[in-house]
Structure 1
């Protein structure tokens, strides 16, 4: 009995040791902690930290489908009809805090189906503190709420869209909250690179400067803009006033130029106004009107020599749901160049999903 008990006890001990070793062999290693994307609220909504860095990134953009239409414009031989376009835009904003202030950069990629080009750079720049360098818009491309007043276009335009002014520029901005001011230098047509003059390579000399001061006083904001084109040797001053009045917002734009320049070459002066009426939280209507004086140019001297034009229209905006909007506009333009006159209807319908 003693021998039998000893053998049974030894077998049980060996089984326990073997079982313990087997259990140790199949124990899984502890998983390494994962680094999840963290929300960055230092620069506003939509930013998140790039993993492993202290840089905050925001990705946005929109998809737009639009149908444009216009009537004939005999004064310049423009034919009427319609066209369709689908546009895609992606925007990347990166920001981080440094000892010199906020370091920011912006990359905007845009493509249109009615263009032969693939994605191209829209506003793209880097910025630190108040200093910005790159390709970006100046004041004339800010515009008003509707689609009638052309703060960056004129009465001889295509009727589809006002002109855009993207330049390689350098700007310094002072931001005092209710008061802002900036000064900017622009290089026009810099994509042309070098030019040849009688076989001698020279650099482009088409440059300009512009500056703006702006202030906000409760529901009223006003700015004053001035610019000078060294190549054309002419300047322009302009101002935009916005005020919350009654059920909507009034916007007034005025401009005066000493002559055609890269900043403004549509008339000697112009004034326009729009009033955005909030019918409901989702639906608004914006009637507008604009007048141009001295719209005809003498291309020999570059001076304005007469004629005038006016434009009236209305724009409707509807928020279908979060991130999806519809916009429709119709406008009538009448132009008299001092010799003959002509008129044109134009407008568009747009659906846009923004994110």
Structure 2
């Protein structure tokens, strides 16, 4: 066999192999089209379109770890509250869905919350349906829009351990709101949370209804509102106001209440006034001293206030560790004077770490 024959044989073999490979070639299939999640910026940050729809969804929440502490509280030797500490971890998830309709913005919200020191599983927090200015569901009223610290009590009273009927700000309700950029007003009807969901409670009351309303606005760096509520069962009215203003290096908040009688909205005192001032030390750290005074904190069987007073001072510190992670600590002192029944005082506070998303 000469060189020429060897080359011709090799060429024939290569041609045969190449032909076989060409016959068995695998052709890659075209990739299926993929629908990526689209960002929805029509309703603010954090929303995205639910694939295949024009509805925008936002998922948010937080995980909070907190340690509470308090001293014993007694009135002239009669113990009303044990002292000590407790730990708790809370998880909250909130789902908000929004879309534009011919009737205005359609908004629905589901909020789920659970605490480690509670026997309950996840329970329903503020959840509702809103179309334009009309809102129905389970949500808070605007009795307390919120102050910058943790000293002023807007949904609790100075007598620790007392069996209050007031502070009922979360109910099944219906509300209509009129709002512009600088002004808002609403009227709301409340069905108070009766036993097992029925209208009549264990005591046989069948007027477990209330109505509340608010007028408020923002003028420059000042926000103010006037809130009023009437309880049809207790047949009494309460009015309240919250004012916040940017002053100097921080924000001042003032909260005031006048109650004509004990109701489910408020029964902690005939009147109270409190203030907090959050001082921005730097971009990450702020400190907020606060003070509050209550007058006529006792009431009789008819809901009429008839004596006692209390005051409270404290300070709250907030620190932003990094984006989405904050720490908060507060310590407060409360002094209670029940006239002829005696007096007492207590310390309370907490340390909190919270991751929000």
TM-score by length of 2: 0.89
1:344 maps to 346
Q: Is the contact between residue 194 and residue 203 of structure 1 (CA under 8 Å) also seen in structure 2?
A: no
**Which aligned runs of 4 or more in structure 1 are off by greater than 3 angstroms?**
14-21, 194-198
> Partner of 2:143: helix, strand, or coil?
helix
Task: Check whether the contact 2:188–2:213 (CA below 8 A) recurs between aligned residues.
Answer: yes
Q: How does 1:53-68 map to 2 (within 5 A)?
A: 53-68=53-68
Shift in CA distance, 16/330, structure 1 to aligned 2, threshold 3 Å: closer
Residue 38 of structure 1 and its aligned partner are, at CA, apart by: 0.5
Give, in angstroms, the shift of residue 158 of structure 1: 5.1
Cα drift, residue 191 of structure 1 = 5.1
Give a deviation string over 1:3-58, Cα, whole Å, max 9, x none.
xxxxxxxx9xx9899679726x6222211210001000000000000111111000
Question: 1:193 is matched with which residue?
Answer: 197
Alignment partner, residue 69 of structure 2: 69
Q: In structure 2, which of residues 162, 166, 173 is the aligned counterpart of residue 169 of structure 1?
A: 173
Task: List gaps (5 residues or longer) in structure 1.
Answer: 1-10
Give matches, 1:58-137, under 5 Å.
58-75=58-75, 77-137=80-140
The residue correspondences of 1:315-354 to structure 2 (distance < 5 A) are 315-339=316-340, 340-354=342-356
Aligned partners of 2:288 and 2:201: how far apart in 1?
50
**Structure 2: tracts of 5 or more residues without a match:** 1-11
Distance 1:297 1:203, change over 3 A: closer
Q: 1:169·1:187 contact (CA, 8 Å) conserved in 2?
A: yes
SS of residue in 1 equivalent to 2:298? strand
SS of equivalent residue, structure 2 residue 61: strand
Alignment partner of 1:184 is 2:188: yes
Contact 1:194 1:204 in 2 (8 A): no
2:253 to 251, 254, 260: 251
Q: CA deviation at 1:153?
A: 1.4
Q: Are residues 288 and 195 of structure 1, via their aligned partners in 2, closer, same or farther at CA, if it must alter by over 3 Å?
A: closer
Normalization by structure 1: what TM-score? 0.90
Q: Verify the 8 A CA contact 2:194 2:201 in the aligned structure 1.
A: no
Is the Cα contact below 8 Å between 1:56 and 1:95 reproduced in 2?
yes
Q: What residue number does 2:7 align with?
A: none
